[in-house]
Structures are given as C-alpha cells and as structure tokens.
Structure 1
Amino acid sequence: MSTRYSGRRLSPVRLVVLLAVVAALISGLVYAYSWTRDALGSRGDAHWFSAYVDVTATPTYTFEAATEPHQKIATLGFVVASSPTTCEASWGTYYSLDGADGDLDLTRRIARLTRAGGDVIVSLGGAANSELALVCDSVADLQAQYRSVVDTYSLETLDFDIEGTALDDTAANQRRAEAVAALQQERAAAGDDPLKVWVTLPVSADGLPASAVAVVTAFLDAGVDLAGVNAMTMDFGGGDAAKNQADVAIAALRRTHDQLVAIYADRGESLGDREAWARIGATPMIGQNDVVSEVFSLDNARALNEFATEVGLGRMSMWSANRDRTCSDAYADVSVVSDSCSGVEQDGESFGAILAKGFTSSGDAPSPTPSASASATARADQVVDDPSTSPYPVWAEESSYPQGTRIVWRRNVYEAKWWTQGDQPDDPTVAASDTPWRLIGPVLEGESPSPEATLPADFFPTWDAATVYEEGDEVMLDGGAYRARWWTQGDNPVSGQVNPGTSPWEKLTSAEITKLLKTEG
C-alpha cells in the first residue's frame, strides 16, 4: 500500500538548508568546547582567590584560624636569602626554615590549615631583601634552596614576587628560570605532582614594563611550565595615583592580557582570549597605598571583582590579609601605611570577601587527611597525650602557665595568651575571646620534647633582695631568667611563680631566651 510520503525525496533547496543547520550545530559545539577550554585554561586550572600574608609582621596574623571561605588559601611571604651574601632560604632574613618552626611554629600552623581542607602557597622575593636568585651563584645551589622550601611545606604552588632591582638582574633571572625548570623536571621524573609556578610582577596602566616582560620570557625560554602572571595592580603613582583605582587596575590587566598573548604567540603557542585571562592574576594593595594620594576603596574592590569574574581572571589576591580591617582610633594618621590595618573605614566589610566573590575558596586544596578525619570523629576525652612524643609539656590542671607558655593538650599545641591556671585549653563552653589559650595546631608526626633553652648563669645580674628593680630589669636566680613587671624590692622571683599573676616578676619563656641567645650571638 502506498502512502502520502512514500518515495518522497528532499528537494535541492531543502537539502542545502539541512546541511546549513548541521554545519551550524557543529560550529556551535566547537565554539562551546573552545570557550569552555579557554574558560578553564589549558590545564583545567581553577579560578581562585588567595590573599597574601606577611608571615614575619607583628602582630602575628593567624592565617591558620581561617573562619571564612576566602581565607582557606593563604599565600605566605616572603622567603628570601638569609643575607645579601648567603645562599640560604629564610623568612624575611629573620628566621631560617628550621627557625620559623621554633619561633613561629609555622609548619604546625600550616598543618592546622591544611587539615581543615585549606592550602598554602609560598611566595619568594618581595620588595625588601634579596630573592635567592640574586645571591645563589649556581643553578644547582638555587634549585636546592627552592627544593628545600617545597619539601619543607609540601607545596604544590610557588609564587615568585620579582620587583625592584631584581627585575633588571639578567643573570639572576636566567638562574631562577633554569632552577625552576629543573625542579619541575625533577618532580616529573620522580612521578610527583606537578609544581605550579606563578610569577608576580609590577604593572602600570600600560601593562608590564619591559623588565617584567623579560622575566616572563626567561621562564618560558628555560622551559618552565608557567601557571600564570600575577599583576601587582598597586602603587601606580604619577597621574594615575589620584584616578579611580579600579579603572587603572583594569586598564593594566587588559594591557597585560594583550602582552601575554603576544609573548606566547612569539613562541608558536596560540592562547585563546579566555585561556589568556585564566593565566593572569591581580593583586591590589587594599586601602591606603604607599603613594599617599592612592587609595584602593571597597567600591574599587567591587568593580575590580566584577571585571575579573566577567573575563574569567585566573587568580585574585590582595596585599594583605594582615591589613584587612579598619585602623583603630589610636592610629591617628591613616595616610601612613600600616602593616596591620587598611587605612580606610571598612564598616565591618572585608576586602577579601569582596574580591573573592565568584572565585573558588580553595583552588586545588587537599581534602582533610585520613588521620585528621579519624581524630574528628573520635571522642575528645579518648585522646591521650604521650609526653615522649609531645614537643611541649602536657597541660596539667594544677600547674600555672605564664603568658607565652606553650603546652600540649589532646594532641594539639596551645599558647597561653595571659597567665592561667586550671583553664582547660579546649573548653567548649568558653568564648574564643575569653579563653586564655590560643590554638596553634596539631602535634606533628615524629615530634619529641623540645629542649628547654637556658641562659648562662652570668647572662643577667643575680637577683638581690636589697636591690630596687624597675620595670623591665632582668635578673637570674636558680638557673632561671626573670623580668620585672613593675617596681619591686625583696620579692623573690622564684617563689613568686607559685602565683605569677600577682608576682612582680615574669619568667622568660624558652622562645624569649632563644631570641636573646641569637641576638647575643
């Protein structure tokens, strides 16, 4: 039986239309794939936020106590040469990598953050001191120092902050590039996870200066797999200082984008528009900049974030987490840059939260370790401390602890914020502002009791009952060192430690003694 459509064929016109529709669909799929690839970057990198933390600044910023999503990744700065002539990694020349563990408890604090699902990046260089490539004479020695930093903190990402005189040192730039390339190749040969490398560079409204472009090309020519270029959108100076800082930053980023595309094109690699944006970061200096007339406001942060999320910027940061708060009334001249406040009225808002909006809070952050997950489900009262594997004495209810004393309780290290006795370190009924204890981080695998630092018997004068002592005077007695808290005469420093809260004498902690010995040495 025949039907109405039996044997019917497409007319030439309909065939052309059908082919056009199919072609359009294929083109759309290809475009969608290309856009997605560009949006994610060629290696599928996340678009992430991480504020810089000045590790050696005082007061100490407790990056390990992250409470907000935008605080989950911390970029810690800065690792530099220990002196202008010594090829040894240090934190700001103040602490060796080992010394930072003793004085700053840095590894423990990092462990606390990572076990909570966060992550850290370490930045090398910065505006002050000497980046290691300026001091280490050979590529092999430089590679060894970079390796020590990566291994000490189990890093997946390094950030190189190259500015100032370091930009123009061609030999140092070449050594750095070759050392980083060799380290990446070494890790690949060992089957380790790839080491991601960002380079942080100054910019103007015209983009990267020629010296900064040279740093990027040195990395690429040496074979470094460069994750991206982070533009320091700050301290523009000149006529740009008084302009809208978001507008100047955006202009700088647009020009940097064009430069990066051109740099890769010169090497035969074509970057799509979105892919290029995914390899660029922005780091404004929040609030008052070093240039008095230059202020990066909360509204500037909102505008920069809107632009960054629209184009698919790969990284957003800020200098610095230490400064993300309103200065107190006691800080009279806010035009003078502070390490610990922004210099602008924030009205309870956070620059970090504004800039991080739309970015992942933990790009490539590891999941909590199995041991951490297990301890989280265990009853707290079932955790037993072993003095032989504890770096500090185990807390005891009957003992008294002066300010700065560190103890171990339920496999965590705490530090006394003021003199305390009988206050359980992890008492869940006490508010954070009221507890005398600050949680530093977990006891680490393989730890043992830290040796108690002591001073030579004649380091300070021996205490004498007849002598009048003023605030700040220091004495020795029975092997201990003590400092007068106020005027005193006849008050025995040793017996006074039974109730040190009322004693005119405070006993120097092991950490204070260690610093005194270093200074004397």
Structure 2
Amino acid sequence: MKPLRRLMITLTAGLAAMSLTPAAQAAPDPVLASPYLYQWGAKPNPVTVMNQTGVKAFTLAFILSDGGCNPAWDGQRPLTGADATLIRNIRAAGGDVIPSFGGWSGTKLGPRCSSATALAAAYQKVIDAYQLKAIDIDIENTDEFENATVQDRILGALKIVKQRNPAIRTVVTMPTNRAGLNSWGTRLVTKSKELAVPVDVWAVMPFNFGGPSDLVAGTKSAVDGLKNHVKATFGLTDDAAYRRSGLSSMNGITDTGETVTTAQFRAIRDWATSKHLSRFTFWATNRDKGNCGASGSDCSGTNQGTYDFTKLVAGYTG
C-alpha cells in the first residue's frame, strides 16, 4: 500500500473513532431517569443494581437538617462518610447521582435556615462536597410545602444557587391531586415566576390520592394539570411545558392502598416518553422486589420481578 493512501485510511479511521467517542462516553443525566435510593432498611448495592438493570443514575434520599442550618444525610450522617463512598462507587461504575433535599418526614433545612442566603449556603455545601450536576428539592408536608414563608425561602435559595452555579439543574418535586396541583402547588410555581427563579424541572408525585384507583389515568391527569399550570405561568407551548415537567411514581402498593403494577408503570413510561417529560422516576429501588410480603420500605407488596421498575426507568430516554 502506498504511504499516502495508508495515511488517508489511518486519518479516516481516526475521525470515525472520534465521532463515536461522545456517544460512547456520554455522561448519564441524573435528572432524567434516576430512581430513588435510600440508606435505611435492606440497602441494595447500587453498583449491583446498575449491572443488573442498566440504570445509570440514582436520586439519593434524603438530605436533612442536623438540627440547625447544616446538611446531613437523614439528618445524622456527615457528607464525608459512607454516603460519599456510595457516590464514588456509583460514579466509578459509570453512573451519577442527584441528592434529594427534604421529603415527608424528619427535620428539614427549609424551616431551620433563617434566610434564603443561609439555605443556599446549606445547599452549596452539598453541591461542593460532590461536585453535583443537579439537585432535587422534595418539598412536602406542612413544614415546607404548606408554609408560604418557607416556600419563598426555598425559591430564594434556589435562585442564589443558580447564580452561583449556572450549569446546575434544579428539580422541585411536590405532591399533587388527580387533576393537578393543589393551591399550595400552584402557589409555588407562580411564585417562582414572580421571584424569577429558574427551576429547570417541576415534578409531581401522582399517588397517595386516598384509596384504590387507576393510577395510570391518575398519573396522566395529574401531570397534565401540572403542565397546564406551567404552560400558563411561563407562557410556553404544550410541548415546552411538558419538557419542563416530570413525575415520581411509587412501585407496587402505595401508602393509601393504590397499586402500580409493572404493566401499569410501563404504560406510564410510554406515555411519559410520548410527552418528552424531563424526569421519570419512582419511590424506590429499595422496595423494587415482589413476592416478599406486605408493602413496606423493602418490598413492593406485589407480584413482580426483582428490579422490574428500575429496569423500566433505565429504558427511559425522554
């Protein structure tokens, strides 16, 4: 082979390899498809879960207050302890995380920090500790969600976080009714517009509606209600509003006796795909097991295969 032709072939092969590199090395999106994972009860090994399901990211619950305006895992464990090791292991396996602040129970940072500036500093400690790409603010219960002062404090803190970390993505997760947001939810979204807070994704938890019901239909109507309010508040098209919206379901039997089967969750995923939702997740990988007894923190309470729901999340591409 002539030297010039050999050089051209080598260059062509090199360019082809370069064109494949970004896709092959694409970093996982911690917002899009990241089931919740918590560190109590029977704790699954996240790397084992990744290998068995193909999932690449987890939403880690929960960052709480240590009693003051200082973040700690579950309000007890320091940022430098076992949870830091957990995050390193997930990333070493090619994955990523999005820590979740808040939740239903425990002492939250929102009420314990005296100002938006102080709360932003608490968020920043976690962002800096793990060099995060995204954070989830799970705002629930009367101490944060049903409290106008704390709602505004959280929004103000998120605005400061965005100013200090322009590339970070912020998710706000909140309860919902079947038809969409309640008055506290609509207030939160509307107030974010008034305060010019650039929240990237609004996500709802379409379950615990109060008793057995069709959660496929309930999920669709709840997310549609969210989308409609986001659309009206920010002057978006339907498509753009769906792309600012997301959902966090629950696998198996919920706290109020509803049931989400694997087939139903697949239908929810397919609908979410058709709307290009920016977040699709569920509570939680820890309970993503079937035929294990009553529903609880370690069991879905239904007939399902191990990690069936996590596998469905892993296949979500938005």
- TM-aligned CA distance change 1:127 to 1:215, over 3 Å: same
Which residue in 2 is equivalent to 1:262? Answer: 232
Structure 1 residue 223, shift from structure 2 partner: 2.6
> Is this contact kept in 2: 1:286–1:296, CA < 8 A?
yes
Q: Which amino acid is the alignment partner of residue 133 of structure 2?
A: E
Which residue in 2 is equivalent to 1:63? Answer: 46
> Is this contact kept in 2: 1:76–1:122, CA < 8 A?
yes
1:286-322 C-alpha deviation (Å, 9 max, x unpaired): 1010013x11111211211121111211110000010
Q: Which amino acid is the alignment partner of residue 310 of structure 1?
A: S
Structure 1 residue 68, shift from structure 2 partner: 4.1
Q: If you compute each CA radius of gyration, which structure gives the higher value, 1 or 2?
A: 1
> Is this contact kept in 1: 2:227–2:242, CA < 8 A?
yes
Give the fraction of aligned pairs with identical amino acids, expressed as a percent: 26
3-state DSSP class of the match of 1:179? helix
1:319-346 C-alpha deviation (Å, 9 max, x unpaired): 0010111143xx3xx2xx3111111010
RMSD: 1.9
Which residue in 1 is equivalent to 2:97? Answer: 120
- TM-aligned CA distance change 1:145 to 1:341, over 3 Å: same
Q: Which amino acid is the alignment partner of residue 275 of structure 1?
A: A
Q: For 1:214, which of 170, 187, 195 is the aligned residue? A: 187
- TM-aligned CA distance change 1:254 to 1:326, over 3 Å: same
> Is this contact kept in 2: 1:202–1:212, CA < 8 A?
yes
Q: Is 1:300 the equivalent of 2:300?
A: no
Which residue in 2 is equivalent to 1:88? Answer: 70
Q: Is 1:201 the equivalent of 2:159?
A: no
> Is this contact kept in 2: 1:80–1:92, CA < 8 A?
yes
Q: For 2:287, which of 320, 323, 328 is the aligned residue? A: 323
Which residue in 1 is equivalent to 2:61? Answer: 77
3-state DSSP class of the match of 1:307? helix
Distance 1:129 1:212 in 2: 21
Which residue in 2 is equivalent to 1:135? Answer: 112
> Is this contact kept in 2: 1:82–1:93, CA < 8 A?
yes
Higher relative contact order structure (alpha carbons within 8 Å, sequence separation ≥ 6): 2
- TM-aligned CA distance change 1:242 to 1:59, over 3 Å: closer
3-state DSSP class of the match of 1:351? helix
3-state DSSP class of the match of 2:217? helix
Distance 1:348 1:130 in 2: 32
Structure 1 residue 70, shift from structure 2 partner: 4.5
> Is this contact kept in 2: 1:305–1:356, CA < 8 A?
no
- TM-aligned CA distance change 1:197 to 1:349, over 3 Å: closer
Q: Which amino acid is the alignment partner of residue 209 of structure 1?
A: N
- TM-aligned CA distance change 1:109 to 1:71, over 3 Å: same
1:211-269 C-alpha deviation (Å, 9 max, x unpaired): 012222333333322111111011111xxx3222111111111111111101113xxxx
Structure 1 residue 121, shift from structure 2 partner: 0.1
3-state DSSP class of the match of 1:345? coil
Distance 2:42 2:303 in 1: 20
Which residue in 1 is equivalent to 2:199? Answer: 226
Distance 2:120 2:212 in 1: 42
Structure 1 residue 69, shift from structure 2 partner: 5.3
Distance 1:168 1:46 in 2: 28
Q: For 1:341, which of 274, 278, 299 is the aligned residue? A: 299
Q: Which amino acid is the alignment partner of residue 277 of structure 2?
A: L
Q: For 1:50, which of 16, 34, 40 is the aligned residue? A: 34
Gaps of 5+ in 1: 1-44, 189-193, 266-270, 361-521
> Is this contact kept in 2: 1:47–1:359, CA < 8 A?
no
Q: 1:156-195 counterparts in 2 under 5 A?
A: 156-165=133-142, 166-188=144-166, 194-195=167-168
Structure 1 residue 347, shift from structure 2 partner: 4.0
Distance 1:235 1:179 in 2: 29
1:89-120 C-alpha deviation (Å, 9 max, x unpaired): 1111222324xx1xxx2212211211222110
Which residue in 2 is equivalent to 1:500? Answer: none
Which residue in 2 is equivalent to 1:286? Answer: 251
- TM-aligned CA distance change 1:359 to 1:69, over 3 Å: farther
Distance 2:163 2:184 in 1: 26
- Given the two structures, how large is their TM-score scaled by the length of structure 1? 0.53
- TM-aligned CA distance change 1:291 to 1:121, over 3 Å: same
Please list every run of at least 4 consecutive aligned residues from structure 1 whose deviation after the TM superposition is greater than 6 angstroms: none
- Alignment coverage as a number of residue pairs: 288
Distance 2:30 2:89 in 1: 23
Distance 2:187 2:59 in 1: 24
> Is this contact kept in 1: 2:63–2:73, CA < 8 A?
yes
3-state DSSP class of the match of 1:284? strand
> Is this contact kept in 2: 1:75–1:122, CA < 8 A?
yes
Distance 1:209 1:129 in 2: 23
Compare the two structures and name the one with the higher helix fraction.
2
> Is this contact kept in 1: 2:200–2:244, CA < 8 A?
yes
- TM-aligned CA distance change 1:90 to 1:354, over 3 Å: same
- TM-aligned CA distance change 1:64 to 1:151, over 3 Å: farther
Distance 2:42 2:291 in 1: 13
Structure 1 residue 198, shift from structure 2 partner: 0.6
Which residue in 2 is equivalent to 1:350? Answer: 308
> Is this contact kept in 2: 1:327–1:345, CA < 8 A?
yes
Q: Which amino acid is the alignment partner of residue 120 of structure 2?
A: Q
- TM-aligned CA distance change 1:119 to 1:177, over 3 Å: same
Q: For 1:242, which of 212, 215, 226 is the aligned residue? A: 212
Q: Is 1:109 the equivalent of 2:73?
A: no
